[in-house]
Amino acid sequence: MTQPSPTFEAPWHADVFALTVALHDNGTFDWPEWTHIFGSVLAQQGCDQELDGGDDYFTAWVIALEEMLSRKGLADSEILSSLKTAWTQAYLDTPHGQPVQIKRADA
């Protein structure tokens, strides 16, 4: 018997998976709608390089979720980008071992 591998190789894989399932659960989109967008992102990403089914697969998942939310008018790419910058800064500013929190000018 081979050792069971972890369900998710990285916490962010689990996070983006669960966010997507939660959005589907509360009716934000239906599943065929999701697989359609995700399938086309995977196809685009796979044009330049062969995807190995790990980080690159979940990176495609992130792109697809951003795309889905943008199509539905639920997430503006500029807002996402500024939130990402805020998180980056928060990680850089937080001493090791402390919980990382973002500071929001508009919060």
Partner 1 sequence: MPHDHAHTVLPSDPALRVKALETLLVEKGLVDPAAVQEIIETYEHRVGPQNGAKLVARIWSDPEFKKAILAEPMPILQELGYYGRQGEHMVLVENTPTLHNMVVCTLCSCYPWPLLGIPPGWYKSDAYRARAVREPRKVLAEFGLNLPDEKNIRVWDSTAEIRYLVIPERPKGTEGWSEDQLVPLVTRDSMIGTGLAQAPTQ
Question: Cβ distance 28 to 72 under 8 Å?
Answer: yes
- Three-state SS for 9? coil
70 near partner 1, judged by CB under 8 A: no
Site residue total, partner 1 (CB under 8 A): 64
Among 22, 44, 70, 71, binds partner 1 (CB under 8 A): 22
23 near partner 1, judged by CB under 8 A: yes
- Three-state SS for 55? helix
**How is residue 76 annotated by DSSP?**
-
Distance CA 48, CA 69 (A): 25
Q: Residue type at 74?
A: L
Taking phi first (over 0 means left), then psi (-120 to 50 degrees means alpha), and beta for anything else, what does residue 27 get? left
Q: How far is the CB of 5 from partner 1 (least distance, A)?
A: 7
Q: How far is the CB of 15 from partner 1 (least distance, A)?
A: 5
Among 3, 48, 52, 105, binds partner 1 (CB under 8 A): 52
- Three-state SS for 29? coil
- Residues engaged in binding partner 1 (CB under 8 A): 5-12, 14-19, 21-26, 28, 30-32, 34-36, 38-39, 42, 46, 50-55, 57-59, 62, 65-66, 69, 74-75, 79-81, 83-84, 86-88, 91-98, 100, 102
